[in-house]
Structure 1
């Protein structure tokens, strides 16, 4: 009987620690502001992901956060938010969010669709998110993409100023379709005029 009580006590303590960890991760997310605070954060399967400077760059810009795209009249109008953890690559290394027609649409909902795991002019002309993560157990790279109606980005501020702010959440599936990860509580508040010089230690 004493062994059973001890076992139950251990289970309760472990569960409590797991819940505390997730609560702590949520509390470490930046506030949902619209002031151009140059912040970004989300939970990937309950683990905190945020931009970090470092030397772990494997692709794309050397900046931890980049906001860019094509806003030329008469062309494929889009903007992209690229976020990287160059410090240790955990829980993911690279995050790409493609927002189609945001220069004309502005604030509102952007429903996620499929991606072809490419960005810029090589990506698809629709809204999507994809991420790249290094699996330390198998020493291999894994790619995950949004799919039709798997999530959405809500742009809460855009246009008339250098600030773009929003929230996002949804699910991504692996390139082979066998795994799914969940992104929740995503938020960002970017000053497009200063983000290139922002430090993310």
Structure 2
């Protein structure tokens, strides 16, 4: 027969950490609109956040607008990269833009999105198109302070295999250059 103090010690040492899985959305940066230079999304349900190597811009060149949002994690042969671009369309705060173009079609008017990954086992290049597409919404688009914030999501097709990837719960709060 166990003494009661032994049973109490046994109960205290038990925990349920194994059942304490964190919601992947909670691992994304918070939604802010102050130019915090954060961006993240879920890639097929797995969190993806930028490693700090952003190159975002909104430019008016030769009478046309060009916007690019880029995020990257990793380097060299082990990386993930996602990008969103809007070409030949002026961007406005509060507006939603469809992401359904890609570089393969050589249609550079409108929105497009892509995701590329590479590791020691496999690699893939996914692009939006007329069948697999998404959207981006700008909750803040401030050209004076060069801050853009909002949400995005898209599906994209692998250019060789036809595999589909789902990018969901995307959020960004970025500074950009002109």
State whether structure 2 residue 21 is matched by structure 1 residue 20.
yes
Alignment equivalent of 1:76, drawn from 64, 72, 76: 64
Aligned length, in residue pairs: 158
For 1:9, the equivalent position in structure 2 comes to: none
CA RMSD of aligned residues (A): 2.8
- More strand per residue: 1 or 2? 2
The question of whether the paired residues in 2 share the 8 Å contact of 1:76 and 1:125 is answered with no
The question of whether the paired residues in 2 share the 8 Å contact of 1:68 and 1:79 is answered with yes
Alignment equivalent of 1:116, drawn from 68, 91, 103: 103
Instruction: Identify unmatched segments of 5+ residues in structure 1.
Output: 1-15, 54-63, 194-201
Instruction: Identify unmatched segments of 5+ residues in structure 2.
Output: 1-17
Secondary structure of 2:101 counterpart: coil
**How many Å separate the matches in 1 of 2:34 and 2:88?**
23
1:136-151 pair list within 5 angstroms: 136-138=120-122, 141-148=123-130, 150-151=133-134
- Deviation of 1:117 after TM superposition, in Å, equals 5.7
Over residues 81-117 of structure 1, what are the superposed CA-to-partner deviations in whole Å (9 max), with x where a residue is unaligned? Answer: 1111135877x62111102355454431011112016
* CA spacing shift, 1:179–1:76, aligned 2, 3 Å: same
The question of whether the paired residues in 1 share the 8 Å contact of 2:102 and 2:112 is answered with yes
The question of whether the paired residues in 2 share the 8 Å contact of 1:117 and 1:130 is answered with no
- More helix per residue: 1 or 2? 1
The question of whether the paired residues in 1 share the 8 Å contact of 2:89 and 2:110 is answered with no
**How many Å separate the matches in 2 of 1:164 and 1:104?**
10
